[in-house]
C-alpha cells in the first residue's frame, strides 16, 4: 500500500510514517492509518458517512479511494485526489470509487518531521565548488563535461535514495504522474524492477558510481582526458543495454533513464570532438584505478548498510505490532494490584475531572526523572482537556536534607501562586539546569517555607504502595508495566482515554 502523494502533501517524513504505520498492531486498517497520523501530529477523526452528505465536508479530507488512503481536495466541480499518484475525479467518479470512510484532519503547525541525516546542503555545496573550479580552471568544453557529470551524480543519487524509501520531487517531475489505469509510472517500473545485480548493486547504483568517478577525474583535465575518453567509450555498452531493457524487455521508456542516456551521449560526443593531445601515463591510470576502487567500495558499503537497515526496520515494525497491541498492554498494566492514593490533588495539573489520571512518582535529584517529566509535559500540551497529571515527589522529612526541603518548598510555592504553565516551565528548568537559585528566583526571593505536610503525605503513600524507585508512571492507579518503555505511552494514550473499564 503506497500513498506517496498524500504523505508529500501533508509534509510528513515518509520513512517515519511508513515505519509507524507498518508497526501498528492493526496494520493496514483505517485505525492504524488514523493513529499514525495522530502520532505524526495530524490530529484527525474518522467517520462512516453516506455519500449524500459528502458535499458538506471541508475542502480537504481523507477517504479510501480505489482501496487506497487518499487525500481529497475540492477543486471547483471536481476533486483532486492524492494517494500514490495525483489524479482528478468528478463527483460521480469519486463517489463510485470510494468507500463511506472519511477522515477529517487538522495538521499541527509544528508537526513536520524532517530527516536528521539530511546531507543535501552539503552535497549541493560540493557540486557548486566543483562547478566554480571548472569555470575558473578548465576550458569551456571541459566545464560543460564536468557540469554534465555533476548532473549525472545528482540524478543517480536521487534514484539511489528513492530505493530506500525517500521521495524525490525531481524524479517525480521528470517522470510525470501515473494515469488512472496505472499503479506505477514507467520510471518506477524500470527502476524498482531492475533485475541487474552486481555484488548487490543495481544498474542505477552503477550509474552513481560512474558519474562520481568521472566527476572526480574531470577535475584533473586535460591530464585525465585519455582515461575519461576510454570510459565514455565503454558507456556505449550501458546506453545500449538500457535501451534494450526499456524497448524489448519492459516495453516502456523511462524518462529519467533517457535523461541519463542523453548525458552519457553528450559526454561521449564532447570527448571525441574536443579532447585532443591525449597522452597516457601510469600515474594517471593509477589515479583512475584508486578513484574507481574508492568510489565503488563506498557506494557498495553504503548500499549494504542501508539495505540491512531497511531489513531491520521491516523486522522491527513487525515486532512492534505485537508490542503496541493495546489489549496486551492493558493486560500487563492491570496485572499488578491497583494502588489507591488518597491525595490526587496536590501538584495536580490538566483537567482534574478527566477520566484518565496519570501520576509520576519522581525525585527532583533523579537523573532519569527528566525524561519522564518531559513525556508528561508533552501529553499535557497535546491533550490539555483530556487528562489529569499529578507530580508525586518521593519526599520524606526524615530523609530530606535542607537543600531538598527548600527546593520542594519553592516548587510548591510556584505551583500555588503561579499559572500552571509557569510551574511546568519551572520544573523543566530545574531538570535542565539543576539550579536551586533559579527556582528560588522564580518562586520569589522573599517566599517563606510552605507547609509541606501534603508532600510528606504523598511520600508516605508512595512508600506504602512499594514505589521506592523513581521515576514511575501510575495510570488510574496501575503502575506502568516494566516490559514497556515510558515513551510507549504515546502509542496507547488514545485508547487509554477511551477505555471506560479503567
Residues 265 and 176 occupy one common structural domain: yes
Domain boundary among 313, 340, 373: 313
Residues 83 and 146 occupy one common structural domain: no
The model's confidence at residue 392, banded by pLDDT at 50, 70 and 90, is: very high
Range list of β-strands (E), 76-119:
78-82, 86-90, 98-107
What is the per-residue pLDDT for 115?
Answer: 41
CATH number for the domain harbouring residue 70:
3.90.70.10
**Residue 113: inside a domain:** no
The residue to which cell 488518597 is assigned: 342
**Residue 16: inside a domain:** yes
CA–CA distance from 346 to each of 252, 338, 364, 411, 429 (Å)?
Answer: 70, 20, 16, 12, 20
CATH number for the domain harbouring residue 467:
3.40.30.10
Q: Which of 182, 171, 168, 180 is nearest to 81 (CA)?
A: 180
pLDDT of 177 higher than 60: no
pLDDT of 225 higher than 50: yes
Q: Which three cell numbers stand for residue 446?
A: 522573599
What is the per-residue pLDDT for 178?
Answer: 44
pLDDT of 195 higher than 90: no
Structural domain range at position 260: 120-313
- CB atoms near residue 198 (< 10 Å): 11
**Residue 112: inside a domain:** no
DSSP code at position 447 = P
The model's confidence at residue 109, banded by pLDDT at 50, 70 and 90, is: very low
- pLDDT tens digit string along 393-443? 988 877 777 888 888 899 999 999 999 999 999 999 999 998 989 999 998
What is the per-residue pLDDT for 415?
Answer: 92
Residue 355 host element (H or E) = none
Question: CA 230, CA 272: separation in Å to the nearest integer?
Answer: 10
The residues, any chain, with a CB within 8 Å of residue 254's CB and separated by 6 or more, are: 175, 186, 187, 189, 190, 191, 246
Residues 304 and 244 occupy one common structural domain: yes
Residue 413 host element (H or E) = helix 402-417
What is the per-residue pLDDT for 414?
Answer: 92
What is the per-residue pLDDT for 183?
Answer: 40
- pLDDT tens digit string along 31-75? 788 878 877 777 777 788 888 878 878 888 888 888 888 888 887
Q: Is 60 helix (H, G, I), strand (E, B) or coil?
A: strand
Total tally of structural domains belonging to the chain: 3
DSSP code at position 449 = P
- Please name every residue paired with 392 in a beta bridge, in sequence order, or none if there are none: 361
DSSP code at position 51 = G
Q: CB–CB of 390/347 below 8 Å? A: yes
What is the per-residue pLDDT for 479?
Answer: 93
Chain-wide mean pLDDT for the chain?
A: 82
Residues 339 and 473 occupy one common structural domain: yes
CA–CA distance from 115 to each of 78, 97, 352 (Å)?
Answer: 34, 34, 38
Residues 148 and 259 occupy one common structural domain: yes
Residue 69 host element (H or E) = strand 68-75
What is the per-residue pLDDT for 310?
Answer: 75
Residues 139 and 287 occupy one common structural domain: yes
Q: Which residues of 366-394 are buried (b: 16+ CB within 10 A; e: fewer)?
A: beebbebbbbbbebbeebeebbbbbbbbb
The residue to which cell 505485537 is assigned: 322
Mean of pLDDT values over 144-152? 90
What is the reported pTM? 0.55
Question: CA 343, CA 390: separation in Å to the nearest integer?
Answer: 10
In whole angstroms, what separates CA 362 from the centre of its chain?
A: 31
Amino acid at each position: 500500500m503506497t500513498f506517496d502523494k498524500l504523505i508529500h502533501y501533508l509534509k510528513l517524513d515518509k520513512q517515519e510514517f511508513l515505519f509507524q504505520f507498518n508497526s501498528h498492531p492493526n496494520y493496514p486498517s483505517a485505525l492504524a492509518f488514523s493513529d499514525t497520523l495522530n502520532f505524526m501530529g495530524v490530529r484527525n477523526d474518522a467517520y462512516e458517512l453516506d455519500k449524500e452528505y459528502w458535499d458538506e465536508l471541508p475542502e480537504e479530507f481523507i477517504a479510501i479511494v480505489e482501496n487506497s488512503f487518499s487525500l481529497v481536495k475540492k477543486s471547483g466541480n471536481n476533486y483532486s485526489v492524492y494517494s500514490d499518484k495525483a489524479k482528478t475525479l468528478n463527483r460521480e467518479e469519486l463517489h463510485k470509487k470510494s468507500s463511506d470512510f472519511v477522515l477529517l484532519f487538522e495538521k499541527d503547525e509544528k508537526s513536520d518531521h524532517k530527516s536528521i541525516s539530511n546531507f543535501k546542503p552539503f552535497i549541493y555545496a560540493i557540486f557548486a565548488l566543483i562547478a566554480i573550479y571548472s569555470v575558473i580552471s578548465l576550458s569551456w568544453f571541459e566545464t560543460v563535461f564536468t557540469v554534465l557529470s555533476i548532473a549525472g551524480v545528482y540524478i543517480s543519487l536521487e534514484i539511489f535514495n528513492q530505493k530506500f524509501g525517500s521521495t524525490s520531487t525531481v524524479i517525480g517531475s521528470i517522470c510525470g504522474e501515473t494515469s488512472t489505469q496505472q499503479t506505477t509510472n514507467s520510471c518506477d517500473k524500470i527502476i524498482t524492477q531492475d533485475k541487474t545485480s552486481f555484488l548487490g548493486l543495481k544498474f542505477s547504483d552503477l550509474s552513481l558510481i560512474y558519474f562520481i568517478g568521472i566527476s572526480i577525474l574531470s577535475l584533473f583535465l586535460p591530464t585525465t582526458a585519455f582515461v575519461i575518453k576510454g570510459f565514455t567509450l565503454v558507456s556505449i555498452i550501458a546506453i545500449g543495454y538500457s535501451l534494450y531493457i526499456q524497448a524489448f524487455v519492459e516495453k516502456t521508456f523511462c524518462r529519467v533513464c533517457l535523461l541519463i542516456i542523453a548525458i552519457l551521449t553528450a559526454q561521449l560526443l564532447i570527448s571525441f570532438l574536443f579532447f585532443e593531445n591525449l597522452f597516457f601515463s601510469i600515474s594517471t591510470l593509477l589515479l583512475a584505478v584508486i578513484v574507481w576502487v574508492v568510489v565503488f567500495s563506498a557506494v557498495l558499503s553504503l548500499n549494504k548498510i542501508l539495505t540491512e537497515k531497511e531489513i531491520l526496520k521491516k523486522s522491527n515494525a513487525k515486532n512492534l505490532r505485537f508490542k503496541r497491541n493495546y489489549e496486551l498492554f492493558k493486560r500487563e498494566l492491570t496485572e499488578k494490584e491497583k494502588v489507591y492514593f488518597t491525595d490526587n490533588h496536590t501538584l495536580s495539573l490538566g483537567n482534574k475531572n478527566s477520566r484518565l489520571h496519570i501520576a509520576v512518582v519522581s525525585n527532583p535529584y533523579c537523573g532519569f526523572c527528566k525524561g519522564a517529566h518531559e513525556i508528561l509535559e508533552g501529553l499535557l500540551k497535546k491533550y490539555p482537556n483530556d487528562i489529569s497529571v499529578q507530580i508525586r515527589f518521593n519526599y520524606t522529612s526524615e530523609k530530606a536534607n535542607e537543600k531538598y526541603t527548600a527546593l520542594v518548598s519553592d516548587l510548591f510555592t510556584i505551583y500555588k501562586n503561579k499559572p500552571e504553565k509557569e510551574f511546568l516551565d519551572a520544573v523543566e528548568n530545574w531538570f535542565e539546569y539543576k539550579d536551586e537559585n533559579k527556582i528560588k528566583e522564580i518562586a520569589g526571593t522573599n517566599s517563606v517555607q510552605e507547609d509541606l505536610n501534603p508532600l510528606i503525605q504523598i511520600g508516605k503513600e508512595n512508600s506504602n504502595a512499594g514505589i521506592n524507585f523513581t521515576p514511575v508512571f501510575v495510570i488510574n492507579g496501575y503502575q506502568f508495566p516494566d516490559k514497556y518503555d515510558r515513551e510507549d505511552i504515546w502509542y496507547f494514550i488514545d485508547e487509554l482515554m477511551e477505555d471506560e473499564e479503567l
